[in-house]
Structure 1
Amino acid sequence: MFVQQPIAILDSGVGGLTVAREVMRQLPRERIVYFGDTARAPYGPRDPEEVTRFTREIVDYLIQFRPKMIVIACNTATAFALEDIRARVNIPVVGVIKPGARAAIGRTLTGCIGVIGTEGTINSGAYEDALREISPHVHVISEACPLFVPLVEKGNFRSFETYEAIRRSIGHLRKFPMDSLILGCTHYPFLAEVIQEVIGPNINLISSAEETAREVSTILQDQERMSRGEVLPVHQFFCSGDPKLFKSIAQQWLGEQIELTPVVWQVPKIG
């Protein structure tokens, strides 16, 4: 019996669901196997070596499903582990940083772009490098926002606590002449409504999800590996933390029931 090879998508938690939803929208015939490492989130405060090790472990787990492509739908893991994973597997591996940078360059009119992300992503300088690779004279304003991922992982998308955390973290960015703000963590689109309230209506919020899904589509087309089946696929979801919370957030975000399997990891402390 023929089994459709899936696209494997991984993230430190629920954030990669923003990418998964866009892949599902643009490529509805493609089957997705998703892993959210919710037990070990957030990745942002962790050492690069630890993030790389976690990413390897998840990829090793997902390989059993014989994916035709891997999407690292986590900015921190993309910054630290993308090239390592590409060297370890013989299938295409897509990250989310370069697609996000391309989307921002395509939207900005002033050439002044803000980037918000985890400590790991911001400290890596990966977005600055990706943006300047496309447009050398772009002005980049970067800000780490460590409070955001824990809010999303708790499902706390709109509350006074959320608004205050976002206001304290990025309210000062309004003084800069930027016209675009990259949500440099795939968790952040869950908070987009409040981020927009805080940063102001004239700033374009840039998510890498749409551009990443477009890159996935392009690669599959070039390799002639697009799924052609008439029956819509059944996606699989795995998480390492609280399955009830993950399932609740996933179903709310994706707008459909999901099949979820908990996976037990050893969870080291941060620091």
Structure 2
Amino acid sequence: MNRPIGIIDSGVGGMTVAREVMRQLPKEEVLYLGDTLRCPYGPRPFDEVRSYTLNMIRYLYEKDIKLLVIACNTATAAVLKEVQATLPIPVVGVIHPGARAALKITKRREIAVIGTEGTIQSQAYAQALHNIDERVNVHSLACPEFVPLVENGAVNTHEALQVVYERLAPLRDLSIDTLILGCTHYPLLSPIIKKFMGNNVSIISSGTETAREVSTLLHYSNRSYTGDRTPRHRFYTTGSSEMFNRLTSEWFNQDIEHIEHIHLD
């Protein structure tokens, strides 16, 4: 099926998912929309997150996408079930793929989840984990400072090191063996997070698992592109296209030809 995959996020964090989708599915075209103007979503009220997310979905759906990825954990917790029930195309969130990956790896059923305030308050990860294995112990921690670090391009700074170490300190004395990065921005901080947590804690980023789910859904719904082409990816941002271009160049190791500033009502 010669139609693109749509990916939405509250900002640039969803690029970690987009990059993995592009790696695993090199023939597929991606349309990415990051609402950097209104980022972060984590501290916002539920109704506001829902409204903004549906706003982004409407924009991409009008571009005839064949599958939608909600790459923002906060947005996934707010609207996934609603959107899956109303859109006539497959819709994938990032919470369940991450939860399943963590349960495959954990040996002691001691799992920590870090995320935005909205994601942690929703208890979406705890519910997803307990729906599969009610015996697992889930330790949740909100890390509201992490998203601004990523959005401002400050992931390789002393400030980032200090902020991550201070925020994750409550996890140090827990007996966890698996840590879920419950926000798609957080993998950009994963070197610092891994260094703090140590070699005995496995770090789970939902990007890889989400891309696998996208691949499976495309195959079973006969929506995969099977021709021969070089895909033309398109990226949209509600904020600074200059900043967006700089970050995409850094993270994808290539220039993205189409980056466009858009306005959402």
- Establish whether TM, by shorter chain, passes 0.5: yes
Answer yes or no: is the 8 Å Cα contact 1:114–1:142 preserved in 2: yes
Q: How far is the alpha carbon of 1:242 from its aligned partner?
A: 1.2
2:186 partner letter:
Y
C-alpha distance in structure 2 between counterparts of 1:265 and 1:62, whole Å: 11
Answer yes or no: is the 8 Å Cα contact 1:5–1:65 preserved in 2: no
C-alpha distance in structure 2 between counterparts of 1:44 and 1:152, whole Å: 14
Matched, 1:260 2:259: yes
2:37 partner letter:
A
C-alpha distance in structure 2 between counterparts of 1:5 and 1:128, whole Å: 35
Which of 167, 178, 181 aligns to 2:179? It is: 181
Give the percent of matched residue pairs that are identical in Structure 1 and Structure 2: 48
Q: How far is the alpha carbon of 1:6 from its aligned partner?
A: 0.4
Answer yes or no: is the 8 Å Cα contact 2:56–2:264 preserved in 1: no
* Structure 1 counterpart of 2:108: 110
Name structure 1 gaps, 5 residues minimum.
Answer: 267-271
* Structure 1 counterpart of 2:2: 4
Q: How far is the alpha carbon of 1:232 from its aligned partner?
A: 1.8
Q: Normalization by structure 1: what TM-score?
A: 0.95
Q: How far is the alpha carbon of 1:123 from its aligned partner?
A: 0.3
Answer yes or no: is the 8 Å Cα contact 2:5–2:29 preserved in 1: yes
Structure 2 counterpart SS, 1:181: strand
* Structure 2 counterpart of 1:79: 77
Answer yes or no: is the 8 Å Cα contact 1:7–1:67 preserved in 2: yes
Structure 2 counterpart SS, 1:175: coil
Answer yes or no: is the 8 Å Cα contact 2:55–2:264 preserved in 1: no
2:125 partner letter:
Y
Which of 228, 231, 237 aligns to 1:233? It is: 231
Matches within 5 A, 1:112-131: 112-131=110-129
Q: How far is the alpha carbon of 1:142 from its aligned partner?
A: 0.4
C-alpha distance in structure 1 between counterparts of 2:199 and 2:244, whole Å: 31
1:228 partner letter:
T
Matches within 5 A, 1:190-269: 190-258=188-256, 259-265=258-264
Where has structure 1 moved over 2 Å in runs of 4 or more? none
C-alpha distance in structure 2 between counterparts of 1:111 and 1:174, whole Å: 17
Q: Deviations over 1:61-114 (max 9, x none)?
A: 111210000000000000011122223321111000000000000111111001
2:235 partner letter:
F
Q: Deviations over 1:92-139 (max 9, x none)?
A: 110000000000001111110010000000000000000111111001
Matches within 5 A, 1:45-64: 45-64=43-62
CA RMSD of superposed structures (Å): 1.1
Q: How far is the alpha carbon of 1:193 from its aligned partner?
A: 0.5
Which of 26, 31, 35 aligns to 2:29? It is: 31
Which of 92, 95, 98 aligns to 1:94? It is: 92
* Structure 1 counterpart of 2:18: 20
C-alpha distance in structure 2 between counterparts of 1:205 and 1:135, whole Å: 19
Matches within 5 A, 1:132-211: 132-211=130-209
Q: Normalization by structure 2: what TM-score?
A: 0.97
Q: How far is the alpha carbon of 1:264 from its aligned partner?
A: 2.4
Structure 1 counterpart SS, 2:172: helix
Answer yes or no: is the 8 Å Cα contact 1:8–1:62 preserved in 2: yes
